[in-house]
């Protein structure tokens, strides 16, 4: 059965596909209008679009190349019948997005209102574990860590972001996460100055990952038992500065990954994956 709302698109300037226009020029203020009051975001490729359809975010529309329509009919049929599917010649699609887009399928999602401070507190309290990201400004690292959480942290883990962290719904972050930034719950905690204290109040033991040679080895930390009433909150900082002195001072434990002398610290995504695998013990 064909999707009931296929719409032929031949004009790259058609205002109905403005959300997809000039993607490399940035994600800010994309598609803010009466039908998406909190803004929208763009997903690239069929795999990420599948995550969008299974996520809490409404799908606003699809833009697909004519050459990909037949192979993606099953995906399109999963979308609500009222979702517009704009079908364009390949050259028109490339002109809309501003470069040769070989995946041939894009989807636009609507942002939802951010949780209130009380709702954010409830989500944190109900989570089996937390991954705390402080001032993460690299889109690749943000997307990669969402993917790591999906694979290595307990189901239902919530990601806690500092206010200075990059938006997980930027196009590149979604792409690098392979769509998992649409599925893993996250909250932004503000003010940030007392974040560890607030997390501890909700039943979490805050573990700060640091390259400091004076910190406890991860291998030792992973073998230590956590009091039954406590849950783990793994804190990771940005590349370069790492975690702030505030968070390092307020953490319950500081943990390091043992590595060869003279080697600089690991990329935060790699370090986070190693720490999650050791501390959360996926599959056990």
Q: Are the beta carbons of 117 and 91 closer than 8 angstroms?
A: no
Give the architecture-level CATH label for domain 6-110. 2-Layer Sandwich (3.30)
The stretch 271-278 carries a mean pLDDT of 95
Buried b (16+ CB within 10 A) or exposed e, 29-55: ebbeeeebeebbbbbbbbebbbbbbeb
Q: Which CATH number fits domain 117-280: 3.30.70.20, 3.30.70.100, 3.20.10.10, 3.40.1280.10?
A: 3.40.1280.10
6-110 and 117-280 share one fold? no
Predicted confidence band of residue 225 (pLDDT cuts 50, 70, 90):
low
Residues 6 or more apart whose Cβ sits within 8 Å of residue 51: 43, 178, 179, 180, 182, 183
Give CA–CA dist 263/213, Å, rounded: 12
Predicted confidence band of residue 2 (pLDDT cuts 50, 70, 90):
low
pLDDT at residue 99, as a whole number: 86
Predicted confidence band of residue 39 (pLDDT cuts 50, 70, 90):
confident
Whether the pLDDT of residue 43 is over 90: the answer is yes
The 10s digit of each residue's pLDDT in 61-76 is 999 999 999 999 999 9
Query: Which segments of the chain are extended strands (E)?
Result: 6-8, 40-44, 59-65, 85-88, 105-110, 130-134, 158-161, 186-188, 204-209, 216-217, 231-237, 253-256
Residues 6 or more apart whose Cβ sits within 8 Å of residue 56: 112
Query: Residue 192 is encoded by which pair of tokens?
Result: 């940030």
The 10s digit of each residue's pLDDT in 153-205 is 999 999 999 999 999 999 999 999 999 999 999 999 999 999 999 999 999 99
Q: Can you state the angle between helices 139-152 and 268-280, rounded to 10 degrees? A: 20
The values of phi and psi at residue 175, to 5°, are: -65, -45
pLDDT at residue 108, as a whole number: 95
pLDDT at residue 29, as a whole number: 47
Residues 6 or more apart whose Cβ sits within 8 Å of residue 34: none
Predicted confidence band of residue 244 (pLDDT cuts 50, 70, 90):
very high
The ranges assigned to domains in the chain are 6-110, 117-280
Give CA–CA dist 195/246, Å, rounded: 10
Give CA–CA dist 26/22, Å, rounded: 8
Q: Give the global pTM.
A: 0.91
Q: Is 91 helix (H, G, I), strand (E, B) or coil?
A: helix
pLDDT at residue 261, as a whole number: 79
């Amino acid at each position: 059965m064909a999707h009931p709302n296929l719409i032929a698109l031949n004009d790259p300037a058609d205002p109905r596909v403005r959300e997809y226009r000039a993607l490399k020029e940035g994600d800010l203020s994309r598609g803010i209008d009466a039908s998406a009051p909190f803004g929208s975001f763009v997903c690239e490729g069929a795999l990420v679009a599948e995550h969008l359809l299974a996520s809490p975010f409404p799908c606003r529309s699809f833009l697909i190349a004519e050459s990909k329509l037949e192979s993606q009919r099953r995906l399109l049929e999963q979308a609500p019948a009222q979702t517009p599917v704009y079908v364009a010649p390949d050259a028109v699609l490339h002109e809309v997005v501003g470069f040769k887009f070989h995946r041939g399928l894009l989807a636009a999602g609507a942002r939802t209102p951010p949780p209130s401070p009380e709702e954010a507190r409830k989500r944190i309290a109900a989570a089996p574990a937390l991954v705390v990201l402080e001032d993460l400004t690299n889109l690749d690292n943000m997307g990669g860590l969402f993917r790591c959480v999906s694979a290595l942290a307990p189901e239902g883990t919530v990601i806690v972001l500092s206010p200075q962290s990059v938006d997980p719904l930027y196009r590149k972050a979604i792409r690098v996460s392979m769509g998992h930034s649409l599925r893993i719950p996250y909250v932004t905690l503000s003010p940030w100055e007392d974040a560890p204290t607030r997390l501890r109040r909700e039943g979490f033991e805050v573990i700060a990952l640091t390259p400091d040679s004076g910190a406890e080895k991860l291998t030792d930390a992973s073998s230590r038992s956590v009091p039954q009433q406590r849950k783990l909150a793994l804190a990771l900082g940005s590349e370069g500065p790492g975690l702030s002195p505030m968070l390092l001072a307020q953490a319950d434990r500081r943990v390091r990954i043992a590595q060869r002398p003279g080697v600089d610290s690991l990329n935060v995504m790699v370090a986070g994956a190693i720490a999650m695998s050791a501390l959360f013990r996926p599959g056990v």
